[in-house]
Structure 1
Amino acid sequence: MADTRFDVLTIGNAIVDVIAHVGPGFLAREGLAEGIMHLVDEERSIYLYDRMPADKRQISGGSAANTAAGVAALGGRAAFVGKVADDPLGDIFADDLRRIGVHYGVSRLASGPSTARSMILLSPDGERTMNTYLGACHRLTEADISEDEIGAATVTYMEGFLWDPVEAKKAFVRAANYAHRHERACAFTLSDPFCVDRYRDEFLDLIRSQTVDYVFANVNELKSLYETDDFGAAVQQIARDAELAAVTMGADGAMVVHNGEIVAVPAFPVDPVVDATGAGDLFAAGFLLAVSRGQELEMALRLGCLAASEVISHIGARPVLDLEELAVEHGLGGGEPVPA
């Protein structure tokens, strides 16, 4: 096995989250339905971006990037692979990841669509209205996958949100092959029931062919994968298909299915839940970091649930507390990185 530089390397959509509070009349003037996620084209994204308040907050985002940020916040060694353009928002994305300690070395897109952005409009009542332009992040290709980086990561984790572009699918498979060539684990998250509905057969093939070793899902995604309303039946199916499946259950906590056995832990209480965005991403961060450092599965579940509980206690998909310190307070610190 090659030297290990990263505990977890994640692959996914590279999106800049642009967050701003807007007045009560803003959404109506722009013809936006409150609380809905709208996919927009580049022209519309530029239009809305220019009309957002000047004090908007801009931060690197995207599901897998959030997971990498969570790993770093827990004291782990994280890397991210995703595509941005050679433009100002691309600078923001790359600089932000480096600032929080996530390795990011993917080449910029020199021509073509601009960096992806998700404009998140916060209404006075706290409701989030999202307008997402996917842009450059869908231009990830096999050429962006470095065998050296994949081989240097204990676990490579990929998001289902990036399964739409054909070239990105090829990049995923190449990354999985590199991971296995270096005797590393490959993990995959189903991301969303809509992703599962579009690509059910392909996702099942990834799992059953052992292209991916670990599967992450929430209850609805898992039931969608097996086209059943019976959660227990879906758990039995994933137990047959996957080496390991980690399933989040909201307020009921999380479970892992491994070698025919189920381990479950309760959620950490959060009152009130302010914003559930990023809960699954941060759960994956805690779980994967613990697993990469050889900790027991119950400990991995608990660390994942702790990270998720922090992020749902405030607005935004990134932790605001010191997660590493929080883990130690709850007796969840420890585990040594694989030597570099």
Structure 2
Amino acid sequence: MGAAALPSNGEIATVTVATHPLVLGLQPAALVDNVAHVDWSLLDQIPGDRGGSMPVAIEELEHILKEVKAHKLASPDELSPMKTMAGGSVANTIRGLSAGFGVSCGIIGACGDDEQGKLFVSNMSFNGVNLSRLRMKQGHTAQCVCMVDELGNRTMRPCLSSAVKVQADELTKEDFKGSKWLVLRYAIFNLEVIQAAIRNAKQEGLFVSLDLASFEMVRNFRSPLLQLLESGDIDLCFANEDEAMELLRGEQTTDPEAAAEFLAKHCNWAVVTLAADGCIARHGKEIVRVPAIGEAKATDATGAGDLFAGGFLYGLIKGLSLEECCQVGACSGGSVIRSLGGEVTPENWQWMYKQMQIKDLPLPDIRN
């Protein structure tokens, strides 16, 4: 497949983007999310655990999309019952850091030369993300169906098998030069490119942040994950409560505190998010617990952990305390659950700035 680097600012970028972004995200395959509210009956018909993320083939993705259109629920708060946007955990974090916090960000990966690829490029460049490390290839862009139930919990079915992606041997030191952070998401099918990215990042002096992805990924591929953590190359690790439980499976204690302690043995910063109960974080011997911010009932939990990670990273970049980093993360995570999808609306960014102001946290320079 032929590959060509995209222009650094895309054709419709509305802001100038840095040549050497402060934060780089590795998302080997660009991804487009199809997000909709659905009724419970549909989730009962779809194989796999409710609330999790399980890869599906293209035929199954098309079947699920068809079923979603038949079972989607209209929402008085949304203009359309289904939203389509650039997605993926890393893309959500990077887009949020750029659009909401004014941090210069770039993404490493590949997208197809199809409509979904164009949508991904348009959405990310509009939000100021540097796309000079995003390769465009002939083929399909990955897609994911995000089904949101009445309680705001999301069930995801990504289709990655036939999608174009960046390969380990395509990465160069130049991709990482001049940046400070590399943001990753654990995935066994991307392990080779993750390892190559970490090697390059460490040679260029970057810090590395890892998200544990999903409880299924931790459950099924725990051994390679432990090797990654034990390498000492992961500086910051994010896990939600379900992922933390799977990580400690077989241990005497499997509570979030124990998971944070376990991760802190291998990483400088360890964070376990607890949904409506906030988070627990450790840095060395320091441990903090911070409550969630926002409504108890989420419209859609998609992207909550991703945006929390973005807020936490903003705090680290600003030199804030561990507790303040968690508070910014809680404000950021709270902003995205107020509407459908993993992208924060302008109104919800303003809500976040107000929450940060109340807590006397430093506001981003980008704020209007």
The answer to whether the Cα contact below 8 Å between 1:159 and 1:189 also exists between their aligned partners in 2 is: yes
Aligned to 2:22: 7
Q: Give the CA deviation at 1:150.
A: 1.9
Structure 2 partner of 1:203: 225
Write the distance in 1 (CA, Å) between the matches of 2:19 and 2:315: 15
3-state SS of 2:180 partner: strand
| Alignment deviations for residues 44-101 of structure 1 (CA, whole Å, 9 cap, x no partner) | 4346657876x65321001111111111122211212233211111111111100111
C-alpha spacing 1:315/1:189, structure 2 compared with 1 (3 Å): same
Residue 226 of structure 1 corresponds to: 248
The 2-side partners of 1:23 and 1:216 are apart by 30
Relative to 1, partners in 2 of residues 1:7 and 1:334: Cα closer, same or farther, differing over 3 Å? farther
- In 2: Cα distance, 1:273 partner to 1:21 partner: 12
> Which residue type is aligned with residue 111 of structure 2?
V
In structure 1, what is the equivalent of residue 302 of structure 2?
A: 277
> In the alignment, which residue of structure 2 is the partner of 1:156?
182
Of 119-128 and 287-296, deviating more is 119-128
- Percent of aligned positions with the same letter in both sequences? 26
Q: Matches of 2:302 and 2:289 in 1, distance apart?
A: 22
Matches within 5 A, 1:43-122: 43-46=59-62, 56-72=82-98, 73-105=100-132, 106-111=134-139, 114-120=140-146
Rounded to whole Å, the distance in 2 between the matches of 1:182 and 1:69 is: 23
**1:94 is paired with a residue of what secondary structure?**
helix
Q: Distance in 1 between matches of 2:270 and 2:86?
A: 28
Conservation of the 8 A alpha-carbon contact between 2:111 and 2:164 = no
**Deviation digits for residues 269-323 of structure 1, max 9, x if unmatched?**
4142222121110110001122123222222111111101111222222211225
Cα distance between partner residues in 2 of 1:193 and 1:32: 18
Name the amino acid aligned to 1:16. Answer: V
Question: Closer, same or farther in 2 for the Cα pair 1:21/1:288, shift >3 Å?
Answer: closer
Q: Distance in 1 between matches of 2:244 and 2:148?
A: 30
CA contact (8 A) 1:115 1:135 kept: no
SS of equivalent residue, structure 1 residue 177: helix
- Distance in structure 2 (CA, Å) of the matches to 1:301 and 1:178: 29
Letter in 2 for 1:332: L
1:35 deviates by: 6.0
Q: Is the 8 A contact 1:69 1:102 kept in 2?
A: yes
**Aligned position for 2:12:** none
Aligned match of 1:295: 320
Please, which runs of 5 or more residues in structure 2 have no aligned partner?
1-17, 70-79
Deviation, 1:219, is 2.3
1:176-187 equivalences under 5 Å are: 176-187=198-209
Distance in 1, Cα, partners of 2:265 & 2:40: 51
TM-score, length basis structure 2: 0.77
SS of equivalent residue, structure 2 residue 144: strand
Counterpart-to-counterpart distance in 1, 2:153 and 2:283? 38
The alpha-carbon distance between structure 1 residues 122 and 302, as it changes in their structure 2 partners (threshold 3 A), is: closer
2:40 and 2:279 mapped to 1: Cα distance?
Answer: 38
RMSD value over aligned CA atoms?
3.3
Q: What's the secondary structure of 1:186's corresponding residue?
A: strand
Per-residue CA distance 1:243-272 (angstroms, 9 max, x = gap): 221221222222221112212222214142
Taking a change above 3 Å as real, the CA distance of residues 183 and 281 of structure 1, as seen in their structure-2 partners, is: same
| Structure-1-length-normalised TM-score | 0.83
* Residues in 2 aligned to 1:223 and 1:125: alpha-carbon distance in whole angstroms: 22
Task: Tell me, in whole angstroms, the C-alpha distance in 2 between the residues paired with 1:81 and 1:294.
Answer: 26
Q: What secondary structure does 2:22 align onto? A: strand
Question: How many positions carry a matched residue from both structures?
Answer: 327
Q: In structure 1, how many angstroms separate the alpha carbons of the residues matched to 2:97 and 2:243?
A: 23
Deviations 1:135-163 (A, max 9, x none): 45573312443422323322101001xx2
Q: Which residue of 1 aligns with 2:5?
A: none
Tell me whether 1:329 sits opposite 2:345 in the alignment: no
Amino acid at match of 1:132: P
Flag the 1:262–1:195 CA change in 2: closer, same or farther, 3 A. Answer: same
User: Which residue is 2:193 aligned to?
Assistant: 171
- Which residue identity does 1:198 align to in structure 2? N
Matched residue, 2:265: 240
Gaps in structure 1 of 5+ consecutive residues: none
Residue of structure 2 aligned with 1:41, choices 40, 54, 57? 57
Contact 1:8 1:288 in 2 (8 A): no
